[in-house]
Amino acid sequence: MLSGLDFGTSNSAIGLSQSGQIELVSLFEDEKFIPSTLYTYDRNFICEYVDQQTSSATHDEYSRERRHQLNAAKRIRNFEGFEKDEAVVFFGKTALEHYIDSPEEGVFIKSPKSFLGATGLTSKQVHFFEDLVSAMMLNLKSAAEAQRQQELTQVVIGRPVNFQGVNSDQSNRQAIEIMTRSAERCGYKEVEFLFEPLAAGVDFESQLTKEKIVLVVDIGGGTTDCSMVKMGPSHIKKVDRSRDFLAHSGRRVGGNDIDIALAYHSLTPLLGRGSLKKKGIEVPSGPFWSAVSINDIGEQTNFNSRQLSESLLQLQRDAKHPEKLQRLIKLQQQKLNHRLVRSAELLKIQLSDSPSVVCDLDYIEAQLATKVSQQEFADAITKPTRAIEKLIQECISQAATTPDLVYITGGSAKSPTVRESVNRVLPEIEILDGDYYGSVAAGLTKWADKIWG
């Protein structure tokens, strides 16, 4: 059976194709997508999960390579009193719930896709990300196979134009290798990749009755990708679309960056950013940026370090308002920084429909809250929206043509503020909205049907 896998930075979905019928799998209750999150009580349990779930040809080799982690998982399971079959790895909303209930007791991972192209990864880190991706892909694949009672053997996986902005060729190669090995470990025998904006365009194209040049803008969780594509009835049946794809641009700026910018701008002042020391000097901003930069390995290592912990205690002693710094200390000690950025994400979503929203941070301190307006949101995300505008301009320049219409998709495209950034570049061009979360998965599945069906 054929499948299309949108292994997204913020959310993931999987589609199935059988006899030309395309369907997205229900992954959590009736929802067709799940947050790209994982929670476990110990990192070694991720290897254990992969080892237990996979039955592919790579299984024995994986067991040998990860024997130390698998033995450690067995010891920890016995020591902590977990039953042999008791679940210790959780995904999606269940992972979020476990993290909120017990942030200090386990390991919470959000958006591993953001790190796959990171430069300077050690072999140990690469193996860890392979295990993460394998576990999350297995969760999606098993849900699809259980629904149809058939094995999935062929998959088209979505990929951004560029995983990272620096050394993009090397980063892309590393990320694709990690995702390919993970997919093969899950039991896929044939693996293909397709640019995510092109996948969204493939899904949209079936609606067109006339030939159009379409600019597809996919504002995902980790990246924004643009593609200029010739579409319409005379193009849709082609397997080779190379001449129809006029230009591509993409970089690592997306919904996560918007959430981080909003958290930094509007929420960290409650934790002491911008406040003064007793000598009248402003407290350094570095720790606050490290706190919210959940998509940066170096910043997270710094934020969780003992050295920063000691620095924060000294900073609190020197502060004019030590009670604010105590909130930052609690954030670090109780590993609440992912939850802070999650609060910003929910705030972003609510501001799509309301002129202002009160953000409640009572998990840091009772009755701690702040009111954020749409204008403040727009001010907070100026840097990422300007980067999105630049990508659109770059794609238009490459194609040397103006589109007939813009097709916009991706979770953050729902925001009127983000949408306005697209409109600023192309004020006279019609903007059509896609399925914000399902268009890429549907397009990937249609592409799988086209090349293998």
Is residue 449 in some structural domain?
no
Give the range of the structural domain holding residue 359, as residue numbers without chain letter. 256-382
CA distances (Å), origin 221, targets 8, 196, 377: 7, 12, 17
- Do residues 260 and 250 both lie within one domain? no
Is residue 162 in some structural domain?
yes
Domain end marker among 339, 361, 382: 382
What do you get for the CA distance between the two ends of the chain, in Å?
A: 9
Q: What is the pTM of this model?
A: 0.90
Across residues 341-347, what is the average pLDDT? 96
- Do residues 6 and 130 both lie within one domain? yes
More confident residue, 370 or 453: 370
H/E stretch holding 240 = none
H/E stretch holding 18 = strand 11-18
Q: Which of 18-27, 288-297, 401-410 has the lowest mean pLDDT?
A: 18-27
pLDDT at 353 over 80: yes
- Do residues 333 and 346 both lie within one domain? yes
Is residue 85 in some structural domain?
yes
Span 265-322, pLDDT tens digits: 999 999 999 999 999 999 999 999 999 999 998 999 999 999 999 999 999 999 999 9
Half-sphere exposure of 193 (CA within 13 A, CB side): 16
Span 206-241, pLDDT tens digits: 889 999 999 999 999 999 999 999 999 999 888 888
> Which amino acid appears at position 289 of this protein?
W
Is residue 216 in some structural domain?
yes
Predicted pLDDT at 148: 87
CA distances (Å), origin 117, targets 121, 159, 217: 9, 11, 21
- Do residues 168 and 220 both lie within one domain? no
Q: Which residues pair with 109 in a beta bridge?
A: 38
Predicted pLDDT at 56: 67
Span 124-145, pLDDT tens digits: 999 999 999 999 999 999 999 9
- Do residues 39 and 177 both lie within one domain? yes
Span 383-401, pLDDT tens digits: 999 999 999 999 999 999 9
- Do residues 218 and 79 both lie within one domain? no
Q: Which long-range contacts (CB under 8 A, 24 or more apart) does 289-294 make?
A: 289/264, 291/328, 291/331, 291/332, 291/337, 291/340, 292/260, 292/263, 292/264, 292/267, 292/268, 292/337, 292/340, 292/341, 292/344, 293/260, 294/110, 294/111, 294/256, 294/260, 294/337, 294/338, 294/341
Span 79-125, pLDDT tens digits: 999 998 899 999 999 999 999 999 999 999 999 999 999 988 999 99
State whether residue 152 is helix, strand or coil: coil
Is residue 374 in some structural domain?
yes
- Do residues 173 and 291 both lie within one domain? no
- Do residues 145 and 235 both lie within one domain? no
- How many domains does the chain divide into? 3
Arithmetic mean of pLDDT over the chain: 94
State whether residue 15 is helix, strand or coil: strand
- Do residues 292 and 331 both lie within one domain? yes
Predicted pLDDT at 41: 96
- Do residues 115 and 250 both lie within one domain? no
Span 28-65, pLDDT tens digits: 888 999 999 999 999 999 999 999 998 767 788 899 99
**Greatest alpha-carbon span in the chain:** 73
The crossing angle, in degrees rounded to 10, of helices 168-185 and 123-148 is 50
Predicted pLDDT at 165: 64
The DSSP code sequence of 47-91 is: HHHHHHH--STTHHHHHHHTHHHHHHHHHHHHHHT--TT---EEE
- Do residues 304 and 334 both lie within one domain? yes
- Look up the CATH number of the domain holding residue 13: 3.30.420.40
Domain end marker among 156, 188, 220: 188
In this structure, what token pair is assigned to residue 409? 């998709």
pLDDT at 166 over 70: no
Is residue 198 in some structural domain?
no
Is residue 204 in some structural domain?
no
- Do residues 141 and 7 both lie within one domain? yes
Domain end marker among 134, 155, 188: 188
List, in sequence order, the alpha helices (H) in 187-269.
196-205, 255-262
CB-based contacts of 407: which residues, under 8 Å, 6+ apart? 200, 201, 204, 214, 215, 216, 217, 432, 434
